[in-house]
Amino acid sequence: MCALLFDQNIIAGAFKPPCKISICLADGSTPKQVRIKKENGQMVMVPLFQSQENIVGEVIIEPSNGKKVEHNGVKIELLGQIELYFDRGNFYDFSSLVRELDVPGNLYERKTYPFEFSTVEMPYESYNGINVRLRYILKVTISRNYVNNIVEYMDFVVRNYAPAPPINNSIKMEVGIEECLHIEFEYGKSKYHLKDVIVGKIYFLLVRIKIKTMELEVRRRESTGSGTNTYVETETLSKFELMDGVPVRGESIPVRLFLSPYELTPTYHNINNKFSVKYFLNLVLVDEEDRRYFKQQEITVYRLSENS
């Protein structure tokens, strides 16, 4: 048994990386951290940036047990990537910046390499959806001959902010069933920030069927791929009961729905020709025979600038 354990230790040591790589951001380079869920379900804190910020830090490489590390160069990359889950494992790079840190040679002891990516253009936000993921990473690669390269990653999140729109029209729509039902609904605006409140009113102009309940839903529709590989997923993020009982003609029902409790993202339009994310308000009426009537309206969601 001892001999077997000894052999296993030798095998384990053979596959152990010959050095340790650490990626450290400079103090003050990022003011905030946010929590994200890794693929294994683990929650971790990662740095938060927005477009045009500087990403500054250093890479530290420490050879294990004083071993010599032969290499063909050391580099750090800043990558923006999209992964479609029907094509899992294949990342589409929409952004790629490289800094060469070292020329080919040998490493005998701990070495520190400073790096800087200045005013980085990061046009898209980080997103982790049902069928698609958009991520940003710092990737350090030690290139080697005849053996696998040594690679280390650091995830970070990008969020981009927008001012309040100068024009924000109200929404007015009608729901009707000829000679049976006529409802008008009005929402105060069509564009909402992530912590906004949906305020509106529902007017019953004609009611000849018995309405049992009425709900307002917030739905997210994620579209990925194109052509025959187009996938559409719709999630109901919230259900808000507006009414429980039978309305009468001339009655009006107020609407007030807070968005802050829900995990919304901004609306995304055709991100790098790979995916879109849209939001809808869905009005649902159920009569006493459990027949359901729907009226859906798209809204725009944006991340309000913290200075607004």
Report if residue 107 sits inside a domain: yes
C-alpha angle 286-287-291 in degrees, rounded to nearest 5 = 70
Looking at the structure, tell me whether residues 111 and 206 fall in a common domain. no
Is the distance from CB of 158 to CB of 122 less than 8 angstroms?
Answer: yes
Looking at the structure, tell me whether residues 181 and 246 fall in a common domain. yes
Looking at the structure, tell me whether residues 126 and 204 fall in a common domain. no
Looking at the structure, tell me whether residues 190 and 110 fall in a common domain. no
Place of tokens 């993020």: 237
What is the reported pLDDT for 307?
A: 65
List, run by run, the mean pLDDT of 10-residue segments along the chain (308 residues): 36 66 80 79 88 93 87 95 84 94 92 94 94 95 91 94 91 78 86 94 78 87 86 91 72 87 93 95 84 87 82
Look at residues 129, 158, 187 and tell me which one is the last residue of a structural domain: 158
Look at residues 158, 182, 213 and tell me which one is the last residue of a structural domain: 158
Is the distance from CB of 191 to CB of 165 less than 8 angstroms?
Answer: yes
What is the reported pLDDT for 10?
A: 36
What is the reported pLDDT for 43?
A: 85
CATH at residue 123: 2.60.40.640
Strand partners for 128: 133
CB atoms within 10 A of CB 265: 19
Looking at the structure, tell me whether residues 99 and 136 fall in a common domain. yes
Looking at the structure, tell me whether residues 112 and 183 fall in a common domain. no
Share of the chain above pLDDT 70, in %: 91
Determine the structural domain holding residue 154 and report its residue range.
19-158
pTM: 0.85
What is the reported pLDDT for 189?
A: 94
What is the reported pLDDT for 204?
A: 79
Is the distance from CB of 240 to CB of 213 less than 8 angstroms?
Answer: no
Looking at the structure, tell me whether residues 148 and 27 fall in a common domain. yes
Is the distance from CB of 283 to CB of 295 less than 8 angstroms?
Answer: yes
CB burial string 67-101: b at 16+ within 10 A, e below = eebebeebbbbbbbbbbbeeeeeebeebbeeebeb
Looking at the structure, tell me whether residues 254 and 135 fall in a common domain. no
Looking at the structure, tell me whether residues 202 and 291 fall in a common domain. yes
CB atoms within 10 A of CB 49: 24
